[in-house]
Amino acid sequence: MISQNIKKALGMSVRLCLIVVVWFIPFTDEFVHADDSPRSFALPQSDDGLPGAGPIRRYDWFQRLWKSRRAEFAKEAPKKQGSVVFLGDSITQGWGPGFKDHFPGLNAANRGISGDTTRGMLIRLKQDVLSLNPSTVVILMGTNDLEEGASPETISGNVELIIAALKKHNATMPIVLCRVFPSSAEMKRPAAAIQKLNELMETAVRGDGQITVLDTWTLFANEQGDAKKTEFPDLLHPNQVGYAKWAKALIPIFATLGYLETKPDDFRIEPGFRSLFNGRDLTGWGFRPKENKPQYFSSTSTPDGRYVALNGRLIVTTPAEGRRFQQLWTKEEFRGDFTLKLEFRATPNADSGVFIRRPQLQCRDYVLAGPYTELKKYRQQDWNKLVVVVDDNVAHCTCNGEVLETKFKLPESGPIGLEGDRGQMEYRRIRIRRD
């Protein structure tokens, strides 16, 4: 279990491709039967009086699948209490019940139904999701609504209602909202419509500390904003490569929520180096505002929850505002020659930086966010090694052995710092050696 401090910090880090309006929702009992008889899993015969707006699919194949999948959900519900629930359509269903073994040890429930729309998910929300009292809900939805001709505004309105119901059920439960994946105009899902939907959803959740927005659109989109056939062979559904990338994007979020990677690694510092981060709390680190007295910490998180120490990682959480610039500095100042080593991991398109005596070396999801987009050894959504060698106030900087900067000029003295901007960044094994 994670501490209240961590939960508070994680609250600051939760937001992604959807909408939040705290609204009373009258459908929760009216449109869901209390029993588990077959009739309770069937699609209502008419749209009249149903919540939300926009399309509800009524093809014969879909009604059969909707009913059978929901009956399966009910059978496994006792084993899935308190689970991480994935809610969505065929893309979510495609994970399968075991999530392709990408999240070992995670109690996860797949609540995806192929062909479903946001309105369909709204109708089944209480019985399929809320009844599990989930610990976290991961949402990806809206692509089928676009195929059926719904406007981005209509879709985002349904998403608002879904999120409002989740928040009403549990006002502290983390919600991970994935930006709608790219597809193609030939699949009746043009890039402009998907981008508009993502923009509406992100605007709606901005500032909500319960929601983490994960940039799964930039992760997959090509230069035209469409899906790549190497990852989406039919330009809609991910293949094994696509699911692996989605999983790697989620793992850092789950680790920060305390569900995965729950113990520090067994790394041993090299002779001659000393650690700048103890892995347990923020001792030795703090804020250095220009006009106020510095504030240093010994707690596991900063008061606003932006920086969190957890299981050997110093985490810069995703800002609720979408982007927020903030720096955390060492109390210690560094002069002379030294070698700084650390490892970092970024969620898709995350942006951060490492300050070396105050000048900033960009530290980002390089392939997506730049500026070092041509790196061959950078590992997206995985741990990367950053080495900075300072000689006569000039730094030579590498990532996984590839050169970032050869003549990075520095002042004579200053602290080491980390920046927060967008997305989630994690740092570990931060150590230094005087040369």
Ordered by start, the domain boundaries in the chain are: 4-256, 274-434
Task: Give the bridge partners for 138, in sequence order.
Answer: 86, 176
Q: What is the pLDDT of residues 145-154, one digit of tens each?
A: 999 999 999 9
Give the model's pLDDT for residue 265.
87
Token pair 């006792």 in the structure block, residue:
78
Give the model's pLDDT for residue 40.
82
Q: What average pLDDT score do residues 372-394 get?
A: 97
The answer to whether residue 29 scores a pLDDT higher than 80 is no
The answer to whether residue 37 scores a pLDDT higher than 90 is no
The answer to whether residue 68 scores a pLDDT higher than 70 is yes
Q: What average pLDDT score do residues 94-116 get?
A: 97
Q: What average pLDDT score do residues 393-421 get?
A: 97
The answer to whether residue 32 scores a pLDDT higher than 80 is no
Give the model's pLDDT for residue 13.
44
Identify the weakest region by mean pLDDT among 5-9, 50-54, 418-422. 5-9
Both tokens assigned to 385: 């090694």
The answer to whether residue 246 scores a pLDDT higher than 50 is yes
Q: How confident is the model at residue 26 (pLDDT cuts 50, 70, 90)?
A: very low
d(CA 355, CA 28): 50
Give the model's pLDDT for residue 163.
98
Strand intervals (E) in 25-181: 84-88, 108-112, 136-139, 175-178
64 or 27, higher pLDDT:
64
Percent of the chain with pLDDT over 70: 91
Q: What average pLDDT score do residues 165-179 get?
A: 98
What is the pTM assigned to this prediction? 0.90
d(CA 273, CA 348): 31
Give the model's pLDDT for residue 12.
43
Give the model's pLDDT for residue 411.
97
137 or 17, higher pLDDT:
137
Give the model's pLDDT for residue 39.
59
Q: Which CATH architecture has domain 274-434?
A: Sandwich (2.60)
Q: What is the pLDDT of residues 256-313, one digit of tens each?
A: 999 999 998 899 999 999 999 999 999 999 999 988 899 999 999 999 999 999 999 9
- Find all residues with CB under 8 Å of 94, minimum gap 6, and list them: 112, 237, 238, 243
Q: What average pLDDT score do residues 355-370 get?
A: 96
Percent of the chain with pLDDT over 90: 89
What's the CATH fold of domain 4-256? Rossmann fold (3.40.50)
Token pair 């490492």 in the structure block, residue:
354
Q: What is the secondary structure of 147-176 as a DSSP string?
A: HTT--HHHHHHHHHHHHHHHHHH-TT--EE
d(CA 301, CA 309): 6
Q: What is the mean pLDDT of the chain?
A: 92
Half-sphere exposure of 389 (CA within 13 A, CB side): 8
The answer to whether residue 38 scores a pLDDT higher than 70 is no
The answer to whether residue 19 scores a pLDDT higher than 50 is no
The answer to whether residue 415 scores a pLDDT higher than 50 is yes
Q: What is the pLDDT of residues 202-221, one digit of tens each?
A: 999 999 999 999 999 999 99
